Chain A
Amino acid sequence: MGPGEVRGKLAKKEPRISPIVQAIAWAEARSTAEVRVHISRRWFDKDPFGHASEIFSRFGMARTMSRNAVLFYFNQRLRRFAIVADTGADAALGKAYWAGLGASLREDLLSTHFENAIAIAVRTLGISLSDHFPKEKD
């Protein structure tokens, strides 16, 4: 222990970085795509995909060069989720991919911690996006 270091309870704790933020940073470091996660606790959410689409446009996520932004939307109160992908990402990955990602996300949400499940889905997406939209090509 060096001079000036403090041990025990007086030691300053490192601010905790959410695993979701870490996963997003990791995914975006490997591709040109933009990935975001939106978590809501709305009481009424009849159409999660429609609401997620509104959030997608509200935050201007369609303004990427390759139209490859993806938004994960979760309603924690009603336990619903939606994955919204811009046209470029949708064309590159295909509808079957989203169905598979949604299924694995659902299993993770049921089996593990909420934040960790999201982080796993984001990292999985990041790997797929890096194959189609690698960072170095830009």
Chain B
Amino acid sequence: MPKPPLILGPFVALWLASPGFAAPQIPAPPEYSVLDQPDLLSPTLERALETALVEHERLTSEHLVVAILSERGASDAESLTKRIAAEWQVGRGNPTRGILLAYYSREKDSRVEIGVGFDSVLTPDRARKILSETLRPEARMGDPGRGIALAALEILRSIESPLLPNGRAEELLRAGGLRGELAARIPPPSNRSWATWIVFGIIISISVTALLTSAEAHYTRSGWIHPKPWENWRARILKKIRRRRSVDHDVALGGTYGSW
């Protein structure tokens, strides 16, 4: 078997070592439950979020961590988030008692890694819903920091954190600078939805025009009639409703066809 040419060796090595191919380095774990690599959170909001997560841990021994990374590179969000949760020992050595909320800024991707101890209160579907209804709308509107803080609040709500009933979590986040209602804002409709409506309107207009201009005339010995387009549909629907086999379709008809 012929050996591959040695001249390709350096190029292959360079390709393998390129940043796009290599998995990103996992940073050191944060001191206080929130790591904000790209500085999406304001300092006050970061401190407020840290305080809320640390207070929750002190009250319940449940370890919640928020990891905001600049990028995830070529790795997929799920595997990288699992690796981060394992390296940072989210759960303080007991993975069943830990939750990691990860956000990858460049790819605008997010993932929640949930310890099995939370299965009954925070299911993967619920976590996906939190991300899609809270974090992603805010990120689309240009404020991912707010989205991350609101997602963390929703996670605390889902796991029935004692910080929620007394309003402590909301108080902390408001002190950190969150304004308005602590729920995701409804993003404005994207330009694509306008284009969709325009295309839909064009299709409807063409269909209606075609229908109105598809005039028909039916001649008999007595004269001619002008059947309406919807009469055919009405006949078909009535036939289906009555579920009566028409004698007209029992046998094949003869004849011919052509064009001129």
Residue positions of A touching B, CB distance < 8 A: 18, 20-21, 24-25, 28, 35-44, 48-49, 52-63, 70, 78-87, 89-91, 95, 98-99, 101-103, 105-106, 109-110
B residues adjacent to A (C-beta < 8 A): 210, 213-224, 232, 235, 246-249, 251-260
Contact among A20, A35, A57, A91 for B249, CB-based, below 8 A: A57
Interface pairs A-B: 3 shortest CB-CB: A90-B254, A57-B248, A82-B257
B219 and A89 form a contact (CB under 8 A):
no
Q: Are A18 and B224 in contact (CB under 8 A)?
A: yes
Which residues from chain A contact B218 at a C-beta distance below 8 Å?
A: 36-39, 55, 59
Distance from A83 Cβ to chain B, minimum over Cβ atoms (Å) = 4
Q: Is the CB of A25 within 8 A of B219?
A: no
A18 CB, nearest partner CB in chain B, Å:
7
Using CB atoms, name the residue of chain A closest to B214.
A42
Known interface pairs A54-B232, A57-B246, A110-B260. Does A39 touch B253 (Cβ–Cβ under 8 Å)? Answer: no
Q: Which residues of B contact A85 (CB under 8 A)?
A: 253-255
User: Are B214 and A21 in contact, with the CB atoms below 8 A?
Assistant: no
- Please give the distance in Å from B40's CB to the nearest CB on chain A: 54
Which residues on the A side are within 8 Å of B254 (C-beta)?
Answer: 84-87, 89-91, 95, 98
In the bound complex, what is the Cα–Cα distance between A28 and B232 (angstroms)? Answer: 26
The answer to whether A90 touches B216, judged by C-beta atoms less than 8 angstroms apart, is no
Beyond A21-B220, A42-B214, A102-B256, 20 additional contacts (C-beta under 8 Å) are A21-B219, A21-B221, A24-B220, A39-B219, A40-B215, A40-B216, A48-B257, A49-B257, A52-B255, A54-B232, A55-B218, A58-B232, A59-B218, A80-B259, A81-B257, A82-B258, A83-B256, A85-B254, A87-B252, A98-B255
Which residues on A sit within 8 Å (CB–CB) of B249?
57
Q: Which residues of B contact A42 (CB under 8 A)?
A: 210, 214, 216
| Residue of B219, B222, B258 touching A38 (CB-CB under 8 A) | B219
